Chain A
């Protein structure tokens, strides 16, 4: 499984690299697969409402009403029908790609099991919604699907009389059957929508909408396709005839030929085993849970930044439980924490400058404390010489810059680069531990913990607390988000940066070097003040 994951990840990273160039990082559709799935769902829902208005549920009227929409009112209802179909197909593509990508990037284990497991019934519901939709047209394809589906269901020993008998001859079927089917076709997407909402409950800042440019592009694509190749029906259903050749929609209906080539039982087995496998895969193989973030109340002033920045809603603000003069305190839900450390990077007390007393921030990872981070940075500095000394802070899920062959570079690796409080950059430069600092981690859209690159960008730019201080010389800071497939690019960027450092004048010693204990916790507006 690890090899499969590695290959898939490499494929995704390579294609996403190309798409970054074509679409830019902001519009890259691979970073919006789930959001595009939601977008297509809304297109299907909106067009479905329109079609429902004109759809008749009678035995012969169903087909006639669809034909009317397709041919007589092709310019509106026909387009709606085509959009309904093509957006459904696109949704299947997005859902499956989203699933495979999350698997490839290992974004389904630990605290993320919830989103993965709630995604499993969504797959069933997407397919069931599509299949029941095809029934409603009541053409020969619908007839084939209806019979094949009921034969498949009849394999389960729960029906007193085979439900496929409803389609054995024209006399067995009546209009009410279609009333039931349209009810099911509406009910299933509503259940799907509910689970879609549930699916995101443990995700903070979830992307449920693609960026506007991408939404416009994909909508235009569907519209053009709908006008050029409108969705059409087969001949009307006739239960006295067996449909011979069928133009299947393979996105939804691929399982039906499989049933014929194997058996109903085999496909039930496949569906059952596949579902169970998908549900338990977040725990395969079992992996010891990493130590989750711990709140140190003595240093927590309830500023809420960790709760705001946590990508997985694992931190909530609760009523203060000690005598400190603050209204709230942070509380970590160990089941939801993925040990990314992003909360540590957001904590204003996590500053390496502190000298008075023990350096214990308001929140930190027990397995990689801020003290250890500072020691790692100091240790990395010891072996560096000359005027092009670089300390790189990197993400364990991306490239370790120390392995790129760059001389005079030491790296400090963390679960996520956004674990690094920005004050560390100031610390390294003002204490002359290095001449330059490199911040590197996963590509923006590929961040293993979703928001690391974005938060770090905003902190460095001064748009997000805790901000990187203005006094930090930006020419001595390099920020590169690079996938493991971008080794050459990262090596080149760092080499150029090192050359640039060599040409810079040595900074005048900062007065900050002599400061001690710069952190002040302000009840009203907690900010790191140095």
Chain B
């Protein structure tokens, strides 16, 4: 192969490589969410109450402990589990028992759930039970929303602020 032909062929190889780099650096286009849908994100972390009652130690019981271990009140380390459910237009869409995190189940319960929904008007109900009760809910909110295509609708939770927060 002559020098001229070689340089020409090299140019072609470089061009093919450049085109390959360019094409796959911007495509093919990926559709993450269909154009007529919106997204509900239910996400929060919540420290539930300890599982069981705290115990106040007597003077005798405290005396039996090492000096550095004498705490007057001892609470169980483990936290309660929680139950959460999300209804969309009256239909159960998501429900889950949330277990406390951590090796000793002493961390917060947490949830992060994406729910793609058709854009438009919806009735959203979200409820949570975070105590020992077996029926009913400790927190419940129902809201009418009108979601536009592509909207990210976040549902957070903050107990001191009264419970569920729609953003």
Contacts and interface: CB of A to CB of B under 8 A. Distances in A.
A85 B26 CA distance: 11
Contacts of A21: 1, 6
A284 interface: no
A526 B95 CA distance: 83
B29 A241 contact: no
A121 interface: no
A241 B151 contact: yes
Contact of A160 (B13, B107, B112, B149): B107
B10 interface: yes
A89 B112 contact: no
B68 interface: no
B101 interface: yes
Interface residues of B, number: 42
Given A22-B9, A157-B101, A164 B112 contact: yes
A248 B112 contact: no
B77 interface: no
A144 B167 CA distance: 19
A217 B152 contact: no
A390 to B, nearest CB: 30
Given A21-B1, A169-B167, A89 B14 contact: no
Contact of B108 (A161, A169, A171, A221): A161
Interface stretch (B38-46, B48-56, B127-135, B136-144): B38-46
Contacts, number: 125
B150 interface: yes
Contacts of B17: 90, 93, 221
A319 interface: no
| A interface SS class | helix
Given A242-B152, A248-B30, A217 B108 contact: no
B41 A168 contact: yes
A231 B25 CA distance: 9
B66 interface: no
B27 to A, nearest CB: 6
A133 to B, nearest CB: 13
A246 B32 CA distance: 7
B101 to A, nearest CB: 6
Nearest to A239: B152
Contacts of B34: 244
B29 A247 contact: yes
Given A86-B22, A89-B21, A242-B150, A161 B110 contact: yes
A162 B110 contact: yes
Interface in B15-29: 15, 17-18, 20-22, 24-29
B112 A217 contact: no
Contacts of A249: 24-26
A224 interface: yes
A493 interface: no
B152 A244 contact: no
Nearest to B1: A21
15 contacts: A22-B6, A86-B18, A93-B20, A164-B112, A217-B14, A225-B21, A240-B151, A242-B32, A242-B39, A243-B32, A244-B31, A244-B32, A244-B150, A247-B26, A250-B28
The 9 A-B pairs with the shortest beta carbon distances in the complex, nearest first, are: A161-B45, A169-B167, A221-B14, A22-B9, A162-B112, A247-B26, A169-B154, A225-B18, A242-B39
Given A246-B29, A248-B29, 19 more contacts: A22-B1, A86-B21, A89-B21, A93-B21, A144-B32, A160-B107, A160-B108, A162-B45, A164-B112, A165-B43, A165-B45, A169-B154, A218-B14, A225-B18, A244-B32, A245-B35, A247-B29, A251-B21, A260-B32
